[in-house]
Every structure is written in C-alpha cells, then in structure tokens.
Chains A and B, each alone.
Chain A
Amino acid sequence: MRKVAAIVIASAFFAILLISFYQIPQSGYSGSEYYYSNPITGSHANESVPSHYISGTKNETGAVNAVTAIVVEYRGFDTLGEVTVLFTAATGVAFLLHKGKGGKKRAEANLILREGSKLVLPFILLAGAYIFIHGHLTPGGGFPGGAVIASGFLLMMLSYPKFFMKEKPVSITESFAGITFAVIGLLGLLFASSFLENFLPLGNAGYLLSAGIIPVIYIAIGFKVGSELSSIADKFKEVQK
C-alpha cells in the first residue's frame, strides 16, 4: 500500500518536473530581459551578471578560467563559508566516531593492488597538486585537486589495512591552510579596500604567476579540502562496530 502510493506520487512528480522543464526558455535566446540573454564576450549591451563575469574575468581578476574567478574572487566570501561548513562537518565526524583500538584483523589486499597502489600514489598526489596550482589557467582548482589527493590516500587505505593518516600532520596542515585563507582576506582589508580583495599584482593573464591572490587561496583550499576529506575517510575506516 505504501509502495503503491509512493510510486503514484513519484510518477506525478516526474510528470510535473518534465512539464516545468518544457517551460524553461532556451538559453541564449533573448526573449525576456529578466533572463540572462547574451553572454557573449566583449558585448556590454544588455549587461547581465554572467556576461559581466565572462567579459570581466581577464581584466578584473587576471585569471583565465571564469569559474575560478567566481569561486575565489567574485564570491570568495561564500567560499570561505563553504570551507567553514566542511570544517564543521569534519569536526562532527571526528567527534562522533569512536576511534578503534585495531583489534579486528582485516584481510590483506593482494600483491598487485598493494604494489600498484604504492607505485601510483606519487603520481596521484602530483596530479592533485597540478590541478590546484593551475586552477586559474586550466579546469580544476582547490576543490577538485583536494578531492584527487584524498582519493589517492583512500587508495592506500584500501590496499593496506594498517595504513592510517597520522593525526597531527593532517590537523596542522588543515589549520594552517584555513588560517592562510583568513589571513589573506584580512591582508586585503589592510592593503586594499575590503575583505578578500586582491592586493597582489595581476601579472600577465595566462601565466602561472598571475591573477594575484587566486593561486595562493586555491592552494590553501586544496590543502584544506585534501586533508579534511582524507581525515573523514580515515575516521570511517578506523571506527569499530
């Protein structure tokens, strides 16, 4: 009975969603002035928020990747809040899960997985570091790079039953990265006019050392996300029943 009712409600919801998606105006079509109509670079006529982001990214922030410019520069305060949410969730996980004493014996992974993961781990870490250092030039940034680093450590945790993250270096990295983010914001208050404003030279767009504070903040976010996600995975591995 409950199942039938749930199926009926879910199908009705599916139909309603499809009907409402049918009403969404085609992107790029300049029908309504409230709809973002013309995100074409260089065109300042009928300026909307996305087209301002796209056309202003290079001149205002020095970054090439518009997504990075939005995450770190235009909406950097929002990103600081999200990093705080991540920190709170990691703290909650660490607080609620009991640390095991390692009494239960786990099965060893086979030889190919063990040796292969040992071989691959440096390359995964290098790829993660590349992703968050070049966040302003290529797709990627602190969040994906940190996730890639955490998945590298996850691979080690899967193949070695006794591999644990050392708690102290992880928490030091995490706190240092978070403090870097906040201190750069405060330096913006000191040297420029507002919190998290760019105070370093923009440089030539397209080079590694450009875009002012964006690479610095993204490197901090990369370390923070990487250490937090790997410590979450580590807590889930350690916990006893």
Chain B
Amino acid sequence: MTTDGIQLRVDDVSLSFAGISALLYVTLEARQGEILAIIGPNGAGKTSMLNCINNFYRPDKGRIIFEGHDLTRMPAHRIAQLGIARTFQNIALYTGLSTLDNLMAARHIHMRAGFVQSLLYWGPAHREDVAHRQVVEEIIDFLEIEHIRKAIVGTLPYGLRKRVELGRALAMEPRLLLLDEPMTGMNQEEKEDMARFILDIHERHGKTILLIEHDMGLVMDIADRIVVLDFGLKIAEGTPGEIRHNEAVIRAYLGEEMTE
C-alpha cells in the first residue's frame, strides 16, 4: 500500500473503439477507505472506466495502478486475486447456482483445494468448504438474504438478485469494491436498503468503494468524493457540495443555455 493513502490511481488513461473515444486522458485517484462516485450522462465512459480497471478493455494509453501493481498488463483473474471485486450493471450472477453457491464460488480466490483434492473431496477440501461456508453465512446474514439461501438465483426477483450480486462481491473480501449502478431499476425502498448496505460495508470494514450511479440524490448523500465524466473527459472532481455547484457539471447535465 502506498503511503499517501491512494489505493487506486488511474493515470492518464485513454480508450477508443474504432476511432471513437470512450475515455480521454482520464486521471483519477481512489483513496484508501473512501466512497468515490463516478457520475456522468449516458455514454460518458463510466462503465468503460471500470472495464479498464478489470482489464476487460486494455487502455490505448495510460496506466492503472492498484496498491503498487500495474493492472493494465494483468489478466482479469489475477486482478481479482489482488483484492478488487465488482458488480455489474446488468447483473452477472451464476444463474444456475443457488445464492449460497454463488457466494461460495466467489470464495474461489481464498480457497486452496486443488484439482486432486477437489476430486477426492473428503478431508482438506471438505474442511475448507465448511470453513468458508461460515464466512459466506455471515455475509448472507449481513445482507438479510437468509430466506433465499438455497434458491436458484435465476428465479429471484431483480432487487434480490442485485443484493446477491453485492453479496458475491463481498464474499471475495475485496479491498476495493467496484459497484456499477447498484441501484438501477429499483424502487425507492430497495434503493434505500442498498444505500444502507453500501454505507454499512464502508463503515464496518473500511473498504474503498468505487461507485457508478445515476440517482443524483443518493450519490450526493453517500459519496465522499465525486468524479464527473462527460464524453470520455473528466470535467470535474470534488466533494458533493462542490460538484453540486460546478458550472461544467450543470452544463453537462442540463445542456448549454442558448442565450447570447
């Protein structure tokens, strides 16, 4: 970990698809233990930013440093092992598995049972499964999803699936949590539940959270700092109070006034 408290540093990253720029010279930093929100109109490059961090997309230019590791040259599964977990905008659960097994599957990086041990199962692999079940049950408890523990996630309603996906990310015990629109498509009550979980995760475990969200009210309430993207450019950065009154942000969201 770096001494200046910066856990993730996105340094001058550019990304383009067939000539269309998704990100242009974006630089941002996530400090240890903060909730950093990335906001911006549709197509601003928010999800592209997360995909670069996960190395789904390889940036054309720039570097992404997490706790001293350069992520831009690292396979996605190695990045997970460094302690970065993520949820997806469109929910990417293992639909054929139960809630429990989805969370257990996320313990993959913490489990040691190898190929042969898995085939034999009894002994080390079984003991390990039981031990990790304990951890998973605590997360199930925390997210209040005990009642759907053994339900196949493909059959769950949308709001619960979002919650299970958050649980799956938590089961990885990450140091950095990337949340891609965790509250999209939810009603007010579900949104408030989700916001409470995010704040709880932050307070209890001091995890760094990088959050993409459209609901401005919620972002203003829970984020420590906000980065605003528009057409791949970072147009503002600051505390919710500063962003609220930022000229460039208001222009990006409300459009330019046509008065001469």
Q: Are A and B interaction partners?
A: no
Chain A residues within 8 Å of B, Cβ to Cβ: none
Binding site for A on B (CB under 8 A): none
